[in-house]
A and B are shown apart, each in its own frame.
Chain A
Amino acid sequence: MPSASGGRLSRRPDARLWQIAGRLVKRLWRVPHLGHDERVRSSVNAVRISGGRAVRRILLGAVACLAALSLAACGLQIPRDPDGTLDRVSGGELRVGAVEEPGLVETDGPSPDGPLPELVRGFADTLDARATWRVGSEETLVAALEQGELDLVIGGFTDQTPWIEQAGLTRGYRDIEHADGRNLVLLVPMGENAFLSALERYLDEEVGG
């Protein structure tokens, strides 16, 4: 657990900011930009301040970083899961916890139904995985997620969920059916970033950003 001082303030300040920025970018995109010459001139001035030796160091640094990045991009898949969730689920079993939520997750039938379970089944398909279900309360299912007994928990969770200390969150998705203006998130095991990225990629394609 992080200490009290960290608190919720700075936990994920970026989530809300990205939304605002997205809107801003969309709006600004239509505004004419600085001319090319102007931009070049101001960057030349900035470089002149720092002097010749500094410029060389900046260039060297940039080259080193590019080299490192391209190496990383070719040789390795990044991000990777510390506990290998994505590898285990692919071609195997996707263990999903479902919390009843009217309109989003219906748990009356033999297996959960509704927009969220449908999305999960679609995601499982892209990984050649079979979804297995467990229905329960939020607390029970989040605890199971923490224990590594589940790979994914769905329900009426939003980006304001208090479970942020116990679970990793996807970005918020507004355009899921019956979201009713809520910014819906899915819960994944903490730190399983390859799995989380694969899930977000799938959701981006299915229900937009």
Chain B
Amino acid sequence: MTRPSSAQFGRIDLPEKQRIALKKAIHWELFTIVYTSITITVVAFVVGGSQAMRTAWIEDMLSLLPQLAFLTAVIFVRRRPTVKHPYGLHRAMGVGHLVAGIALLAVGLNLAVEAALSLISAEHPTIGTVQLFGQTIWLGWLMIAVMVVVVVGPVFIYGPAKAKLAPVLHNKLLYADADMAKADWQTNAASIVGVLGIGLGIWWLDGAAALFISIGIVWDGVRNTKGAVIDLMDQRARSYDDKKPHPLAGEITGYLRSLPWVVDAGVRLRDEGQVFHVEAFVVPRRAKVRTEALSEASEGIARLDWKVQDVVVVPVEELPSEADRAADA
């Protein structure tokens, strides 16, 4: 019924292209952690009394979560399936995604409430001066300079790099991470507006900017939590950006229908985080089915794409109504 070699369940060895992409992704994640740590340290010097700067600073710390989740998950994903964990540990990616999403959501809400309260209580943010090389300058200028400089990394360097790798690896955590990095300029722009507002004596601009940034964090949290939960709940597999059902369902049913002994076919395709778990249902032409035919079909499916090696082919009298017949593909 299934693939002959039991060790093949759940792909842990990647093809060349994906192996290189994964290596690159790990390097970029490490680079991001180093870059963000430097950012956090530098911003710490200029946080001052600005609520917007403080919110942006905490956001920088939160932005480490997806990388940590990814790097932790990578360790587990490589492990072979065993009797205890028959599907392998691919779900580690989804669990990491969920944890990062919840953390973003919780802290984002907290920051939003704080920003709203400071606006309501009309708290005037205080930013004084600093002495730099014997000159006394307003700290606000330094804040703006720092925020302009640190935005380069996420928006121009590692954000786009990770966005290119995510589709190759079909990794939603990496995709969400890249997506957040690319949107990081909004945070920096908002905090600059907040600080300039303070400089111009418009005290509420700072709180408003902080609110804007924290709503952005909440939104990221909602999106990531939702995506992770839905995948952990075994929704039908979708593309890496969740925009459409994954085309592999159509390819698999198409392949099965092309076999001479198969009348009709449907699949249940679930996303394990980076690879898929496939249950393919086939309605055979005759009542008797040779086990070799099933094994061949299973191997044929596995050849379609690197993501599908955990395949079960089940002969049925009638297709289950929930099975994906890829009618919309």
Contact = CB atoms under 8 A, between A and B. Distances in A.
A103 interface: no
Interface of A: 1-3, 5-6, 10, 12-14, 17-18, 21-22, 46, 49-50, 54, 57-58, 61-62, 65, 69, 72, 76, 78-83, 168-171, 188-194, 196-197, 200-201, 204, 209
A12 B47 CA distance: 7
A14 B138 contact: no
B110 A3 contact: yes
A30 to B, nearest CB: 15
- Closest 5 A/B residue pairs (Cβ): A191-B124, A168-B126, A80-B201, A209-B131, A78-B199
A197 B48 CA distance: 13
B224 interface: no
Given A58-B152, A82-B203, A2 B123 contact: yes
A98 B322 CA distance: 79
A187 B87 CA distance: 63
A49 B157 contact: yes
Contacts of B58: 10
Contact of B47 (A14, A82, A192, A201): A14
Given A17-B45, A80-B200, A80-B201, A193 B126 contact: yes
A13 B44 contact: yes
Interface in B216-268: none
A187 to B, nearest CB: 10
7 contacts: A54-B157, A54-B160, A80-B200, A191-B124, A193-B126, A193-B198, A197-B138
A105 to B, nearest CB: 22
A28 B196 CA distance: 32
B78 to A, nearest CB: 27
Interface of B: 44-49, 54, 57-58, 110, 113-114, 117-118, 121, 123-131, 136, 138-141, 144, 148, 152, 156-157, 160-161, 196, 198-203
A200 B114 contact: no
Contact of A3 (B117, B129, B130): B117
Contacts of A194: 201
B122 to A, nearest CB: 9
A197 B129 contact: yes
A204 B48 CA distance: 18
A193 B200 CA distance: 10
Contacts of B125: 190-191
A10 B58 CA distance: 10
A190 B126 contact: yes
Pick from B126, B144, B196 the residue with the most CB of A within 10 Å. B126
